[in-house]
Amino acid sequence: MKTELFVRLKVVDTTALTALTAIQEMGFKEVIGVKRDVYYAFESDSDISKEIVGVDVLVNANKHAARLSSDVDGVGILVTDVEDDCSSLLHTLTERLGISSISHVTRGVFWMLQFKGGVDRDFAEKIASGLLCNEHYQKYEILG
């Protein structure tokens, strides 16, 4: 069973704002909004959704809002490190925090781009490969 977790800052995300400015400076004026979540996906034997949103290693309730599904309004771009096996995080979750049913963890950054006048996947591809992802050690996936 797969459980996804999207973790977003409650306060203004300056990284997302900087990304928006850079994207527009690159000539993609049609992009009018950028949001950013830290993304996790867990493979487990049982339903861990209630437990996982309460894990403070992942979600600090004082500054983060967590959701179990994306609220993508536009195009989503998931960027992950190719060599990140998340073994230390998996160990923490299973051994220290006792969520033993988890067998695999993926983490990355989930970017959401809002376009003026509708979704433009071609532009999203160019923005992903030109700014958000360095494909020499990362990979990306366009969603939405």
Binding site for another protein (CB under 8 A): 14-15, 18-19, 22, 25-26, 81, 88, 131-132, 134-138
Q: Closest distance between another protein and the C-beta of residue 32, in Å?
A: 18
What's the min distance (Å) between Cβ of 136 and another protein?
4
Q: Provide the Cα torsion 75, 79, 85, 89; round to 10°.
A: -70
Measured from the CB atom, the residue of 53 and 132 that comes closer to another protein is: 132
Alpha-carbon distance of 101 to 99, in angstroms, equals 6
- In the complex with another protein, the residue whose CB is nearer, 15 or 100, is 15
How far, in Å, CA of 84 to CA of 108, rounded?
9
* Three-state SS at 79: strand
Q: Is 34 helix (H, G, I), strand (E, B) or coil?
A: strand
Q: How far is the CB of 22 from another protein (least distance, A)?
A: 5
The nearer residue to another protein, 46 or 63, going by C-beta atoms, is 63
Nearer Cβ to another protein, position 62 or 88?
88
Answer whether 39's CB lies under 8 Å from 109's CB.
yes
The nearer residue to another protein, 19 or 102, going by C-beta atoms, is: 19
Report the nearest approach of another protein to the CB of residue 46 (Å): 29
Type of residue numbered 131: L
**Least gap, CB of 98 to another protein (angstroms):** 23
* β-sheet with 64-67: strand ranges across: 64-67, 2-9, 31-44, 102-115, 75-81, 138-143
